[in-house]
């Protein structure tokens, strides 16, 4: 989708330009120079996914001419540099979008890559719907005990050793109120890092017939989606 027709990308560009960042124009992406960080030959790019224009990603590309194969899995700068840059960018996006954590995706054809997920700030209607879902989930969980919850997971086809099952169980045990439920879901979502586990959670949404399991899984999936990208390397390197 053309940048000029994407309201989310327009909001991001206006925000970072108004904050004084040096923006390089493009019809398909927003590029920001990183010279101010002390990182040379690097650029930050905001772009949308081809098949889902509402989903936005941030990508750092660091070019290098003297690459040592032994350093392929190492970051091209320190975590402190990365945190400093992320904090500065997040400040410019305050009230517009949330910049997720950057993850290193390796080295390809002379370039190091980092990626991060971008979440647009929620509208009042979105917040209301999320709160209603949390309340509904809590209401359901209060009506079941540990035995019934385990039976529900069994009926959903989750193996006893499944990481997803363990995450759902820990959330169930911690969900005393809405704040505790939200915190527990956030903590468990960042632990589910394997693509196969993501698929398990996603499939549960479509196949599950147990209400109290289904609502809980949906909340977990939404948080996982906020934390990680679910695209192949080929798509990421497009």
Q: Is 42 helix (H, G, I), strand (E, B) or coil?
A: strand
Are 46 and 118 in contact, with CB atoms under 8 Å apart? Answer: yes
Are 93 and 16 in contact, with CB atoms under 8 Å apart? Answer: yes
The answer on pLDDT for 78 being more than 70 is no
The answer on pLDDT for 237 being more than 50 is no
Nearest to 14 by CA among 96, 85, 88: 96
Of 96, 121, 146, which residue is a domain's last?
121
Instruction: For the chain, give the mean pLDDT.
Output: 78
pLDDT in tens, 89-121: 888 888 788 888 888 888 888 888 888 889 887
- Is 74 in the same domain as 168? no
Of the CA atoms within 13 Å of residue 4, those in its CB half-sphere come to 3
The answer on pLDDT for 61 being more than 70 is yes
Q: Is residue 237 part of a domain?
A: no
Question: What is the reported pLDDT for 76?
Answer: 46
| Backbone conformation region of residue 41, classed left if phi is above 0, alpha if psi is from -120 to 50, else beta | left
- Is 177 in the same domain as 161? yes
- Is 138 in the same domain as 105? no
Tell me which of 235 and 172 has the higher pLDDT: 172
pLDDT in tens, 130-167: 778 888 888 888 888 999 999 988 988 888 889 999 99
Tokens encoding 178: 């809405």
- Is 90 in the same domain as 135? no
State the Cα torsion 238-16-94-231 to the nearest 10°. Answer: 0
Q: Is residue 39 part of a domain?
A: yes
Q: How many domains does the chain have?
A: 2
- Is 112 in the same domain as 29? yes
The Cα 233–Cα 227 span in angstroms is 17
- Could you give phi then psi for residue 21, rounded to 5 degrees? -75, 150
The Cα 226–Cα 180 span in angstroms is 18
Q: Is 98 helix (H, G, I), strand (E, B) or coil?
A: strand
- Is 130 in the same domain as 166? yes
Q: Is residue 102 part of a domain?
A: yes
- Is 135 in the same domain as 104? no
Q: Is residue 207 part of a domain?
A: yes
Of the CA atoms within 13 Å of residue 141, those in its CB half-sphere come to 25
Give the residue carrying structure tokens 């949390």. 134
Of 99, 121, 143, which residue is a domain's last?
121
Are 174 and 183 in contact, with CB atoms under 8 Å apart? Answer: yes
Of 69, 90, 121, which residue is a domain's last?
121
Question: What is the reported pLDDT for 54?
Answer: 78
Question: What is the reported pLDDT for 167?
Answer: 93
Q: Is residue 203 part of a domain?
A: yes
Q: Is residue 236 part of a domain?
A: no
- Is 83 in the same domain as 30? yes
Question: What is the reported pLDDT for 39?
Answer: 67
- Is 90 in the same domain as 107? yes
Structural domain of 198: 124-226
């Amino acid at each position: 989708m053309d940048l000029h027709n994407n309201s989310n990308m327009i909001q991001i560009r206006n925000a970072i330009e108004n904050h004084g960042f040096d923006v390089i124009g493009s019809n398909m992406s927003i590029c920001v120079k990183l010279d101010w960080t002390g990182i040379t030959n690097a650029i930050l790019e905001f772009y949308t996914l081809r098949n889902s224009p509402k989903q936005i990603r941030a990508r750092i590309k660091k070019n290098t001419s003297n690459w040592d194969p032994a350093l392929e899995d190492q970051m091209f700068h320190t975590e402190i540099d990365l945190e400093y840059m992320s904090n500065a960018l997040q400040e410019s996006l305050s009230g517009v979008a949330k910049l997720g954590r950057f993850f290193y995706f390796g080295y390809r054809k002379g370039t190091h890559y980092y990626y991060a997920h971008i979440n647009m700030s929620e509208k009042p209607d979105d917040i209301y719907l999320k709160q209603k879902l949390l309340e509904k989930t809590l209401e359901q969980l209060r009506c079941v005990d540990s035995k019934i919850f385990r039976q529900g997971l069994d009926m959903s086809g989750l193996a006893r050793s499944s990481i997803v099952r363990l995450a759902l169980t820990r959330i169930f045990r911690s969900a005393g109120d809405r704040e505790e439920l939200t915190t527990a879901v956030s903590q468990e979502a960042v632990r589910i890092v394997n693509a196969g586990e993501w698929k398990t959670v996603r499939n549960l949404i479509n196949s599950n017939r147990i209400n109290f399991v289904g609502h809980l899984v949906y909340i977990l999936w939404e948080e996982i989606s906020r934390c990680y990208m679910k695209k192949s390397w080929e798509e990421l390197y497009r």
